[in-house]
Amino acid sequence: MNIKRDGGVNMIRTGVLLGAAAGACWGLVFLSPLVLSAFSALEIAAGRFLVYGVVSLVCLLPFVRTLSKRLTPSDVMLLLLLGACGNVAFFALLAASIQKVGVAPASLIVGLVPVVVTVLGRHDQGAASLRQLAWPLALVLAGVACINLDTLGSVSASSNSLTDVIQGLIFACAALASWSLFAVLNARALKSLASVSSQQWSYLTGLASGLWALVLACVVWGGGFSPLEPQANVLEPIVVDRDWQLFWLVSVGIGIAGSLIANACWNGASRRLPLTLTGQVFVFEPLFALLYGFVYEARAPRAMEMVAIALMITGVLWTIRKHAPRNRAFVEAS
């Protein structure tokens, strides 16, 4: 029993470390809409996931025969759904939000993923009741309220209009819903598909994302249609020149580090952790995004941003503590 418990503890510890590694890679992605401010959110999403899809296809070649026998038509449909809601749609919405309101508001709203996933996974193994989580969730929601108030209050001091700010916050909330759905469906799929490794599932998701990105690229560049137009960097004047060399350099970077490597790490975490704890580990992404964002903007967080960060971190840590007894049970059952 002790050996089994120790193995389970190591599995959870490894899962948390993999989640942290995924968060560190994903955090870098938040800077790409600022660096590529001359390009629309849809163009940035198309570039990133075209790279992810091509690299995933190359990595999948040695496993094509075996995987084709293991996957059912429902698995293929799920992969297409995950590629859309967890990658292409999520990132396009996130990029549009960042270009309109900046890294901090977008990352903190997306940082609600632990709360949403906890609610959606409340009936899964290891879940705590919503009644037990009332106060921790209230702290996280208060943190989101603070960052929204800070963002709206800074409109007069920035070049962004109130309409842009409201649109940016709406885009961030839509991105939150999109990725929360992905997190739940992806975690459950990984636990049920023992014949497919976490890395192979990442490649398959990447291939599905690449197919969506190809369609998006045809629409945006072939048809000239892009509803999410490029915005001025929230800190700098509009960039007139569209540097395509920089575009593809950034796309390769976030396509490999922010997608291929990050998703493989996240799948490893999702397979090792109960769903409710998987949601909490996601907090690493907005934290790293905030860190990178403040460094990129060369500023310290404002007072309301610091309060929001403190409230959200406290709420998430409190939520993890509420799950502790159940996580021990999950370990012993592993």
Report the distance separating Cα 141 and Cα 122, nearest Å: 18
- What's residue 16's pLDDT? 81
pLDDT value at position 134? 78
d(CA 307, CA 302): 9
Gap between the Cα atoms of 270 and 275, Å rounded: 7
Host domain of residue 269: 2-333
- Dihedral sign (CA 101, 102, 106, 111): negative
Q: Which of 14, 7, 23 is nearest to 183 (CA)?
A: 23
Angle at 163 (CA atoms; ends 96, 115), nearest 5 degrees: 55
What's the pLDDT score for residue 239?
43
Count of the separate structural domains present in the chain: 1
Using a 10 angstrom Cβ sphere, with 0-12 exposed, 13-18 middle and 19 or more buried, the burial of residue 143 is buried
Per-residue pLDDT at 1: 42
Total length of the chain = 334
Residue segments in the chain with a per-residue pLDDT below the cut of 50: 1-4, 6, 232-239, 325-334
Give residue 250's pLDDT.
95
Give the separation between CA 201 and CA 268, rounded to whole angstroms. Answer: 10
Grouping H, G, I as helix, E, B as strand and the rest as coil, residue 72 is: coil
Is the pTM above the cut of 0.85? Answer: no
Q: Would you say 251 and 35 are in contact if contact means Cβ atoms under 8 Å apart?
A: no
Q: How many Cα neighbours within 13 Å face the side chain of 224?
A: 0
Q: What angle do CA 139, 313, 293 make, to 5 degrees?
A: 120
Residues 6 or more apart whose Cβ sits within 8 Å of residue 7: 334
Task: Please report the pLDDT score of residue 229 as a whole number.
Answer: 54
pLDDT for the residue 154? 64
- Under a CB-based contact definition with an 8 Å cutoff, are residues 235 and 297 in contact? yes
